[in-house]
Amino acid sequence: MPLTPPAEPDPEPKMNWASFYAVISGVNRHSTGIGRIWLSVLFIFRILVLVVAAESVWGDEKSGFTCNTQQPGCNSVCYDHFFPISHIRLWALQLILVSTPALLVAMHVAHRRHVDKKLYKLSGRASPKDLEQIKTQKMKITGALWWTYVISLFFRIVFEVTFMYVFYMIYPGYKMIRLVKCDSYPCPNTVDCFVSRPTEKTVFTVFMLAVSGVCILLNVAEVVFLVGKACSKHLHNAGDSTMGAWIAQKLCSY
């Protein structure tokens, strides 16, 4: 058998998870330490595992779904009845939706920088060096940015939990069964249909579920950390301020 030359590396960049990573990891600079850990867990244990392993497990989900009948169309209909939406697509949507609240923070930082630039220009400090300094300085998570960050964490948690619930509703028990019984038209009667690679699918479902749980814990820990940091900062700065003044300060400090 003649040796085939290795495939040419694809010169055209694809719109894929790698370019998505480039967009999302830009937010890393303004995250806390826990936020950076969360981002790494997301990309290594969820997106990478999805692309490298899970997609090949579910690759033949439809072609390998076999029903005990010769009736044309019965396979399609039974597959559609038991798998309204594939795990892979649900995970892809979950990962996209869970990552995007971080862009709220990026937008807020960009807005803050824009306002800083305007202030600098008005006060006469419009040298290129000063404007560069605005671009490179790390924003402190205080004031309105603190609220944006906490809200983005809250949305992340809500999306994660919602998707876990949706998974549970569509695929009860998170387990993939070997055999399903189907009697939708045009199947002539109740036919046995066999799912392809059920155990492997169960393993990956449980794995992705566990990592999703870890991500929720990290997000909750980050919220607790931010709230704790804000409380201790306030107590340290102004020991005799009232709670109302603290809330007013947080809301209006920027």
Partner 1 sequence: MSWPTLYAQLVGVNRYSTSLGKIWLSVLFIFRVMVLVVAAESVWGDEQSDFTCNTLQPGCENVCYDHFFPVSHIRLWCLQLVFVSTPTLLVAMYVAYRNHGDKKRILQVCMLFSFVLITVQEAELESLKRRKMPLAGALWWTYACSLLFRLLFEGGFMYALYVVYDGFQMPRLVQCDQWPCPNLVDCFISRPTEKTVFTVFMATTSSICMVLNMAELAYLVAKAKARRQICEPLHITAPQTCACLAQL
**Binding-site member from 41, 48, 57, 88 for partner 1 (CB under 8 A):** 88
Nearer to partner 1, 95 or 157 (CB): 95
6 contributes a contact to partner 1 by CB under 8 A: no
Query: Which range, of 10-18, 198-206, 209-217, 241-249, touches partner 1 by CB under 8 A?
Result: 10-18
Tell me, rounded to whole angstroms, the distance of Cα 169 from its chain centroid.
Answer: 20
Query: Which range, of 7-15, 28-36, 198-206, 245-253, touches partner 1 by CB under 8 A?
Result: 7-15
Within 8 A by CB and 6+ apart from 196, the residues are: 60, 61, 63, 64, 65, 66
Which structure tokens are listed for 216?
Answer: 């929720």
124 contributes a contact to partner 1 by CB under 8 A: no
Within 8 A by CB and 6+ apart from 41, the residues are: 211, 214, 215, 218
**Separation in Å, CA 169 to CA 80, 83, 138, 164, 165:** 16, 12, 43, 9, 6
User: What x-and-dash track marks residues 52-71 binding partner 1 by CB under 8 A?
Assistant: ----------xx-------x
- Closest distance between partner 1 and the C-beta of residue 5, in Å? 24
User: Helices 87-99 and 198-237 sit at what angle, rounded to 10 degrees?
Assistant: 10
**Binding-site member from 48, 49, 93, 180 for partner 1 (CB under 8 A):** 93
Q: What's the CA gap between 239 and 189, in Å, rounded?
A: 76
Give just the sign of the alpha carbon dihedral 22, 142, 41, 217. negative
Nearer to partner 1, 186 or 228 (CB): 186
Residues that bind partner 1 (CB under 8 A): 12-17, 19-20, 23, 62-63, 71-73, 75-77, 79-80, 83-86, 88-89, 92-93, 96, 100, 103, 107, 111, 122, 185-186
